[in-house]
Structure 1
């Protein structure tokens, strides 16, 4: 067991050293810096914001005990009460409607969270749900155009320029898209996600914040503890799989328990499909088929 713990710590340390802005853990830490988070929102929306606040350190929303809860990566509001949820997304799901339907659920949960019983619907806030993707989320859809930015609002089908006015907006950024229709700072940020050197004051500031975070000993311990907990959860899943399996089918039970836990981690955005497939000892294609 001590040898396994030592190996886990070594793996956790290696993972920590390889973290980039595309990792949820680092992204959340960097975006806690208000000036960077504010500037990112301004670059995405081409607007100016006077100030932003973080209503909660970590935003978890659960409406009912038996409902699916959501944990929002970066949840902020501006001085006018507009809410922004920013999510870093590195997992390209097998089904093309996974992310659009996830934004639908997030929107519903955010609305129910802010509207108290008996209040008028006019009290609902203007909201922006922003997914920053390390892939084109619409590549497998006929309408996907390889853009760096996709913006969706409720419009009238018969009159496309007529907005319904519910004040909800869903935005998908694509780090692999064409750098057209976006400003220089946002293009440089997407290039940085792709592993290119930071260009410009804004992206250089983000890169500095990433390095500062990785030099923070408390964050390092936090991440390594988190990483090792994932390993324990996987081991627990394998053990449960063995218990559930028939005596003659323990190997199958072991494998099933393991990939069920891995699917949960992928769905929660903790690890990528590529990482999960590697841990499961199978190809990405095979893992996607199991996950469907």
Structure 2
């Protein structure tokens, strides 16, 4: 079972705490402004930990921080603390982007009115191993990268390991803070103050305890289900193996019995031809007593 942190162990890297800290509109606004080098008058929170339901398979995705600014630009900010062995972070960002677009279209917008959207992953690792503090991706023409698609879709990946290459001191300090270093500078210090303020709230502590209990319950159910499936699989495999071994053993015994019957039939035939018992024993490797017993059974001795 995966270890669940205690409430006191939580840091800005943990989604639960990151979501609560980003509910501070001034901090969230300032972070987006710094990342994108833009100005925002105000933010509107769509939902805290926005859930988008998918139509076909009943699954859903959860967005850590989902906000819209006064000009209609939509931002999804995600904290990413692990990269899968398949390095699927890019495709995950593509999936999030498509779900956000689907959500916007569900509100009745025509394609041409789709909001400009930004998916921003804050990574505690370097997702592309180039040492950049921020990786920004937009669509451009492969044959001429000066030709922009202008679909107003942007995906960004912040690298907490790349703080030394960040030109903006607030971004550099933010990346160091996410990487577990001490808060330095006005913005990082304000974030750290907000972290401590959030962790001082009994309501948030209770919320985390309830969430932790629910996660543990699901883990136990998953383990029990896995154990049940493992037992069923083991029984099926054992039964199958037993049947196969039984058939193989039966065939071996059958072949042995067939060979024995053939040898005994040959011994009987030799006795009928009056071949001496000693000679038959040397040929067949049967003992004299065995040959005499066979002869008696067939009325030949």
Instruction: Please give the range of the TM-score, normalised by the shorter of the 2 chains.
Output: 0.7 to 0.9
Whether contact under 8 Å (2:121, 2:156) holds in the other structure is: yes
TM-score, normalization by structure 1:
0.75
> How many Å separate the matches in 2 of 1:18 and 1:177?
25
1:50-75 deviation per Cα after TM superposition (whole angstroms, max 9, x unaligned): 11110223311113051532110000
In the alignment, which residue of structure 1 is the partner of 2:85? Answer: 94
TM-score, normalization by structure 2:
0.73
Q: Which structure would you say has the larger Rg?
A: 2
Q: Name stretches of at least 5 consecutive residues in structure 1 with no aligned partner.
A: 1-10, 140-144, 253-292
Query: 7, 12, 21: which is aligned to 1:30?
Result: 21
117-126 or 68-77, larger mean C-alpha shift: 117-126
Task: Determine whether 1:15 maps to 2:15.
Answer: no
In the alignment, which residue of structure 2 is the partner of 1:134? Answer: 124
CA-CA distance at 1:248 after TM superposition:
8.3
1:143-202 deviation per Cα after TM superposition (whole angstroms, max 9, x unaligned): xx1111100000011111221100000000000125324311111011011121111111
Q: How many residues align?
A: 235
In the alignment, which residue of structure 2 is the partner of 1:268? Answer: none
What root-mean-square deviation, in Å, do the aligned CA atoms of Structure 1 and Structure 2 show?
2.2
Q: How does 1:1-292 map to 2 (within 5 A)?
A: 15-96=6-87, 98-116=88-106, 119-139=109-129, 145-246=130-231, 249=234
After TM superposition, the runs of 4+ consecutive aligned structure 1 residues lying more than 3 A away are 11-14, 116-119, 246-250
CA-CA distance at 1:207 after TM superposition:
0.3
**Whose relative contact order is higher, 1 or 2, with alpha carbons under 8 Å and at least 6 apart?**
1
Higher normalized helix content (fraction of residues)? 2
Quickly say closer, same or farther: Cα 1:161–1:218, change in 2 above 3 A: same
> How many Å separate the matches in 1 of 2:60 and 2:233?
37
